[in-house]
Amino acid sequence: MYDIKKWKHIFKLDPAKSISDEDLKSICLSKTDAIIIGGTDNVTEDNVFHLKQRVKQYSVPLALEISNIDSVMLGFDFYFIPTVLNSTDVKYHNGILLDALKSFGPMMQFVDVVFEGYIVLNPKSKVAKLTQAKTGLTDEDIEAYALMINDMYKLPIMYLEYSGTYGEIDKVKAAADQLTNTQLFYGGGISDYDEAIQMASIADTIIVGDIIYNDLEKALKTVKIKESHK
């Protein structure tokens, strides 16, 4: 069984985006700790299935981040279920989880299910607009959410999602300083090694996504942050 607590670097692949076999092989053999398949829109059963089958040729741990019930299927090592705590729509707090339990509850192996306390922080992102997230948060708001996730809900992961833009260091530190048991994931706008190492020095785990499709070489270099954590 894989130990998520030891993951320092994750590549996130969007099933709605194209990636060549050669580039996918480079990602899967890069020594990243894991790959997450997930996206905001145009996530379908078909494109998730085909990307999963391509990644499963390799031995890298593979997780599905659930954005809709239609694209949930067997064959992943982990299933990440986000609850967007700063969303103003209850659907994104627990509605997707409720639907998942209604549809798959009897079949779920809960050891493979990981709940993420999501905080969406880029107001221009698709995920912020979809979830109607309240993104204008202060450091004090972030600290309070961290306490909520760590001490009250006791979720295993707090995910700061800047989705397409590089995040505010002070806010990431504000979250990190409050977490004792919860693992801090950071995702958003990491475009090179320097940004990766900066965020990796604060967050427990960094998620690298968009740069895969814009500059694969720079994306692959971000994996080197693991060397600084040995």
How is the chain split into domains, by residue range? 4-229
pLDDT at 214: 95
SS3 176: helix
pLDDT at 73: 86
Alpha helices (runs of H) in 70-229, residue ranges in sequence order = 95-104, 126-131, 139-147, 169-178, 193-200, 211-214, 216-221
Span 83-133, pLDDT tens digits:
999 999 888 888 777 777 787 767 666 668 899 999 999 999 999 999 999
pLDDT at 131: 92
Distance in Å from the first CA to the final CA of the chain: 21
* Residue 230 confidence (pLDDT) above 70: no
Distance CA 215, CA 54 (A): 21
Greater confidence (1 vs 168) lies with: 168
| Residue 160: φ, ψ to 5° | -90, 115
pLDDT band at 159 (very low <50, low <70, confident <90, very high): very high
What DSSP state is assigned to residue 162? -
pLDDT at 119: 97
Span 181-198, pLDDT tens digits:
999 999 999 999 999 999
* Residue 176 confidence (pLDDT) above 90: yes
pLDDT at 229: 62
Mean pLDDT for 169-181 is 98
Span 24-81, pLDDT tens digits:
999 999 999 999 999 988 899 999 999 999 999 999 999 999 988 888 888 999 999 9
Mean pLDDT for 161-184 is 96
CATH architecture of structural domain 4-229:
Alpha-Beta Barrel (3.20)
CA trace torsion 184, 157, 88, 66 (10° rounding): 120
Which candidate, 148, 201, 212, 192, places its Cα nearest to that of 172?
Answer: 201
pTM above 0.85, yes or no: yes
pLDDT at 97: 75
pLDDT at 143: 98
